[in-house]
Chain A
Amino acid sequence: MENKAEINVEEGLNTEIEINEEFGNKLNVTSNKRPISELDSSTEEKKKTEALLKVEDISLSFTQYASGLRQTKLNIISNLSLEAHSGEILAVVGSSGSGKSLLAHAILGILPSNAKLDGKIEYKGRILTQEKKKELRGKEIALVPQSVNYLDPLMRISDQVIGDVAEEDEKLMKNLQRKIFQRYDLKPEVDKMLPHELSGGMARRVLVSTAIISSAKLIIADEPTPGLDEKTLNETLSYFKDMADNRCAVILITHDIEAALKISDKIAVFYAGTVLEVANARDFKNNGENLRHPYTRALWNALPQNGFQAIVGHQPMQDEVIDGCVFYERCSKKNDLCSRGIPLLKEIDGGVVRCNNAVSEEIPNSDETSSIHGHELKISAKEVKEV
């Protein structure tokens, strides 16, 4: 598969056009050099500034029966905002129980019936209502789930990747499915297999294929990497990088900050149901001095190669009521203000943070070099436009 991508770059336009004719732009392997970008550069510019998905100040609560008929409300997500842009990978990082998966469920509209969602979710500038979610999910918005358990155990692989299609489209879809499988090195005999016959790596490629075949514009991957060895991990990550290179917006939900940093443009750090910081991938370096929130810095410095320092304490329980900052208990920089009211969301150095003590720390020189390194993709896209 990787070989194929390289060939396309070298051969340039011919191969591209061929693929385009057959499948629309679903199967483009390289986006930077594609001729279409010249034609619609103006619309592309618009897309760049406007987020494909905009989550604004949402909160999510569950109603539960406590004892008898007494109901209690459990707040799981509060004051959560983030944006996903086409062509970018946004990693959502945080500990288990911080509400990462529920965010995915909220976007897809698959929350349980006792959940109450407030706030605004916009897709392509329009409010994403429950009806709209139903219409888009599995098509424009696709989920790449965690494991093979999400496949139907009694259905042949190719049938479930293709899904339910009209009879006249069947042949076309079958063709497309085979092309995608070939690209991911899934041999023809895999089409007829059942899920239990797949190895872990094959299963992952099948799950990725289900998202690709739907020609989704927004891909939400929920913990796609835990327990993978290094080779399989890098391979899986490369699939998501591919999708972003093809102008998809990818939301990568994971607790593995190292894996996230390998491919993501931005990292949103979740804690106790809210986003404490959205940082650029390049901010994660050295001792984390460019990071804006103490918790993000703690995550970074707790990596074994960065000192393995553990801060004390726990993420608050879901039923604990907190007046101030959710990180107050564990914060080393807290002051009086932090225990009263939730800190406001601030924009600092190209990132966002919810901390009273965060201030801009401009280090112009080092920042410049790292931005060139970290944002190769963006710069090359710009170059294309200028040409």
Chain B
Amino acid sequence: MLLKGENIRFSYKGDDWVLKDVDISLKSGEVLGLIGDSGSGKSTLCKILSGYENNYQGNVSIDGKEIGKKGYNPVQLVFQHPEKAVNPKWKMKDILNEGHDVSQDILDSFGIKQAWFNRWPNELSGGELQRFALARALSPKTRFLIADEITTMVDTVTQAQIWNTVLDVAEEQNTGVLVVSHDKNLIKHLCHDTIHLDDINNV
């Protein structure tokens, strides 16, 4: 499968383009790095690819077909701050199974403990919450994972734990992964290939 964004343009106001004629493509099973300065439009591009931002010009498709607005979106986005991506009034088990019934395999590989299920989001640390957010996003129906700075807020040990698991699961499910980060060493270690948003963005 191939996720493709073609001639993507986005602006908040008039001709002040955040993204201008950006082309990007991601294959199943590929791990692609995305680097760019603050404000270069990385997060905006992530939102466009995963269907969170609809007010853009250009084309986003999987194998040439537009992604349907209804049903499960095969392109899943995971954010930098998991605490902002969970409902604070839900218990962790409800948050976890929001999109699909997460398999025991995935829980085991992320090291998510049963004892955490009955806790509220504010009772877990950022690293633990991020594991839940990733398990929630990695349904078997997910074909592409967009990881927007997912380990920026955690320590190095947790970062290595999380990424080793994500890459294992992605390989098993043949998921394509877009890794967005400022950490060049991390990108170099994880990715097959890297694109620089400043180079492909014609602003």
Contact = CB atoms under 8 A, between A and B. Distances in A.
Interface of A: 93-97, 199-201, 226-233, 255, 257, 298-300, 302-305, 308-315, 318
Interface of B: 36-39, 80, 111, 113, 123-128, 149, 152-161, 163-164, 182-186, 188-190
21 contacts: A95-B127, A95-B154, A96-B125, A96-B126, A96-B127, A200-B38, A227-B152, A229-B36, A229-B182, A230-B184, A232-B38, A255-B153, A257-B156, A302-B157, A304-B183, A304-B190, A305-B189, A308-B164, A310-B161, A311-B157, A315-B125
A95 B162 CA distance: 13
Given A96-B126, A314-B111, A302 B160 contact: yes
Nearest to A96: B126
Nearest to A308: B160
A314 B155 CA distance: 12
A310 B190 CA distance: 14
Contacts of A303: 156, 185
Given A310-B164, A315-B125, A95 B158 contact: yes
A95 B152 CA distance: 11
Nearest to B36: A229
Contact of B157 (A226, A310, A318): A310
B38 A255 contact: no
A226 B153 contact: yes
A298 B157 contact: yes
Contacts of B164: 308, 310
Nearest to A313: B111
Residue among B39, B111, B125, B154 with most chain A CB within 10 A: B125
A96 B124 CA distance: 9
Contact of A230 (B125, B154, B182): B182
Given A95-B126, A304-B190, A310-B161, 15 more contacts: A93-B155, A95-B127, A96-B154, A96-B155, A97-B127, A227-B152, A228-B38, A229-B37, A232-B38, A302-B159, A308-B189, A310-B160, A312-B111, A313-B111, A314-B127
Nearest to B115: A317
A248 B33 CA distance: 39
A298 B156 CA distance: 8
10 pairs of A and B residues whose beta carbons are closest in the complex? A97-B125, A310-B160, A304-B189, A95-B155, A96-B126, A302-B156, A310-B161, A302-B160, A304-B185, A305-B185
Contacts of B184: 230
Given A97-B126, A298-B157, A314-B111, A304 B186 contact: yes
A104 to B, nearest CB: 17
A309 B163 CA distance: 11
A97 B156 CA distance: 14
B38 A299 contact: no
Contacts of B185: 303-305
A231 B154 CA distance: 21
A201 B124 CA distance: 30
Nearest to A298: B157
A93 B183 CA distance: 18
Contacts of B153: 96, 226, 255
Residue among B113, B128, B156, B163 with most chain A CB within 10 A: B156
Contacts of A232: 37-38
A226 B128 CA distance: 18
Nearest to B126: A96
Nearest to A223: B153
A312 B109 CA distance: 11
A309 B161 CA distance: 8
A309 B188 CA distance: 15
A75 to B, nearest CB: 15
B192 to A, nearest CB: 15
Contacts of A312: 111, 161
A314 B115 CA distance: 13
A298 B155 CA distance: 10
